[in-house]
Structures are given as structure tokens and as C-alpha cells.
């Protein structure tokens, strides 16, 4: 984590919303490719463990928010990144499941101006056994199909690991402050006709702790209800004709030098 950032890194801030992720947040930050990411903002929604101290020790800026909410944490982190001069924001979870070391594959298409939004997808052979429950995979596919019908762009997943230009994010008009944040972003991006790509990346079991969503039936039901409500709300609000585009799938070969 030492050494001066290069020109690209100076434009990128990673935002990691957390709640009780001690034991996982440190390794997550350590895996980020610092030649590509100059600033790490950990947004703590009121952890009662050593999450904040561990994040700070790993070199992150810790932003504590009084009100909980996944979307609220993402929005607060993005606002802090923008205020600090960042142009691109990288979102990821703090549980160690996302392949943070592969962040360059999400960032490069955005930094190079080829895409507006690049998302990791957890589907396929790169998914570690036990990292996702069957109902999570099914939900992602069903929601992706629903967005395809509504907005003309079909996603394969709703993974939190993603990169987007901050000016583009600001124009989307995000309002969802809970678990529907990722879905709202993808729907509004589709309606806006953004250049979107998906990159298949490894997805692992969380390093430590328990998932706030999949870790309990009540958490799963709450998140599912919020996501369904977000889907309906954004669809009703966005009555204009869908401008969706086909999503580009970026492979390892596409990232090769000179491409």
C-alpha cells in the first residue's frame, strides 16, 4: 500500500459500506490494486466490533454514518469521493467475497472511456462453492430478466462489485437508501442507455462474520421485499421509452494490452 499513486489511481476512489466486518475488512482493503485506486473510503453504519479500527489500520478513510442503510452508505461514500476530486468510484462489499484484487478489470473500461458502468458478475465456474445460495442465483437471474423486459437491458447478476463515473452516477438520480441501491442503479443505467459491461470475476465465501442478508431468513425476506419494491417504483417513475443497450461481456482477452 506504499508508493505514490499513478495518474489513473488519482481519479479512483473505492467505497466499501460495512457493518460489523472485523476480520474481513482489513484483507479486503489489502487486496485492492493500489496502482489503480488511490483512496479507500470505508463507510461504517454503526459497527459494534473492531471494523473501523481495522479499516483505518489498513489505510482506509473511515466515514461513520448515523443512519443505517446500504444505499445510504454507498451514497455518502460517493459524495465524499466526489468532494475529494475522484472521477470514478469503485463499489465493493467488505466481507472479502468480492475479488478486490481484480478491480482493474472493472476500472479499465471506465477510465479508458469505453464504458460508463462496469459490473462484476458472480455467475459461472468462477463462483466458489458455498459462496451463494441457490435462491440468490435464481433471484439475480429473475431480476435481470425483469429489467430486460422493462428497460431493454438484461443483466446476469446484481453483484455489489462495480465501477462507474461519478458524474454519470450523479445524473442517474439515485434515491434508494436500502438494499435496492444496486438494482436501482442498474435499472436507471439501462433506461438512460448507458454503455454497460459485465465481467465474470471470482466470487468467494466471506472471510469472517455473517451475512446481513443471506445469513438469516428474516434478512433475506427484508432485502427481497425492498428489492421488489425498488423494481416496481423505478419502473413506474421511469415511464419514458426504454433506451436499453446490449451489455458487453468483457473477457480476459479483451483486457489484454493493446486491445
Taking only the tens place, the pLDDT of each residue in 125-142 is 777 787 777 767 777 778
Region 112-124 average pLDDT: 92
Instruction: State whether residue 149 is helix, strand or coil.
Output: helix
Domain 9-252: give its CATH architecture: Alpha-Beta Complex (3.90)
Contacts of 229 (CB under 8 A, 6+ apart): 180
Report pLDDT for 141: 78
Tell me the per-residue pLDDT of 51-86, one tens digit each, with 9 for 90 and over.
999 999 999 999 999 898 999 999 999 999 999 999
Tell me the per-residue pLDDT of 12-22, one tens digit each, with 9 for 90 and over.
999 999 999 99
Which residue has 454497460 as its cell numbers?
196
Spatial distance between the Cα atoms of 99 and 87, rounded to a whole number of angstroms: 22
Amino acid at each position: 500500500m506504499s508508493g505514490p499513486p499513478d495518474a489513473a489511481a488519482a481519479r479512483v476512489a473505492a467505497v466499501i459500506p460495512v457493518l460489523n466486518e472485523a476480520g474481513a475488512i482489513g484483507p479486503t482493503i489489502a487486496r485492492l490494486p493500489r496502482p489503480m485506486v488511490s483512496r479507500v473510503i470505508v463507510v461504517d453504519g454503526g459497527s459494534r466490533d473492531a471494523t473501523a479500527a481495522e479499516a483505518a489500520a489498513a489505510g482506509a478513510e473511515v466515514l461513520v454514518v448515523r443512519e443505517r442503510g446500504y444505499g445510504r452508505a454507498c451514497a455518502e461514500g460517493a459524495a465524499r469521493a466526489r468532494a475529494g476530486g475522484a472521477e470514478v468510484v469503485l463499489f465493493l462489499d467488505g466481507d472479502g467475497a468480492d475479488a478486490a484484487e481484480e478491480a482493474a478489470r472493472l476500472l479499465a473500461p471506465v477510465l479508458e472511456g469505453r464504458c460508463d458502468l462496469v459490473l462484476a458478475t458472480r455467475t459461472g465456474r468462477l463462483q466458489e462453492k458455498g459462496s451463494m445460495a441457490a435462491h440468490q442465483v435464481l433471484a439475480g437471474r429473475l431480476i435481470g430478466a425483469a429489467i430486460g423486459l422493462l428497460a431493454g437491458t438484461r443483466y446476469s447478476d446484481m453483484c455489489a462489485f462495480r465501477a462507474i463515473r461519478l458524474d454519470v452516477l450523479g445524473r442517474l438520480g439515485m434515491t434508494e437508501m436500502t438494499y435496492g441501491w444496486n438494482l436501482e442503479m442498474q435499472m436507471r443505467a439501462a433506461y438512460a442507455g448507458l454503455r454497460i459491461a459485465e465481467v465474470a470475476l471470482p466470487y468467494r465465501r466471506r472471510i469472517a462474520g455473517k451475512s446481513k442478508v443471506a445469513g438469516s431468513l428474516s434478512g433475506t425476506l427484508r432485502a427481497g421485499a425492498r428489492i421488489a419494491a425498488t423494481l416496481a417504483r423505478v419502473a413506474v417513475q421511469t415511464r419514458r421509452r426504454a433506451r436499453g443497450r446490449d451489455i458487453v461481456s468483457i473477457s480476459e482477452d479483451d483486457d489484454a494490452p493493446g486491445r
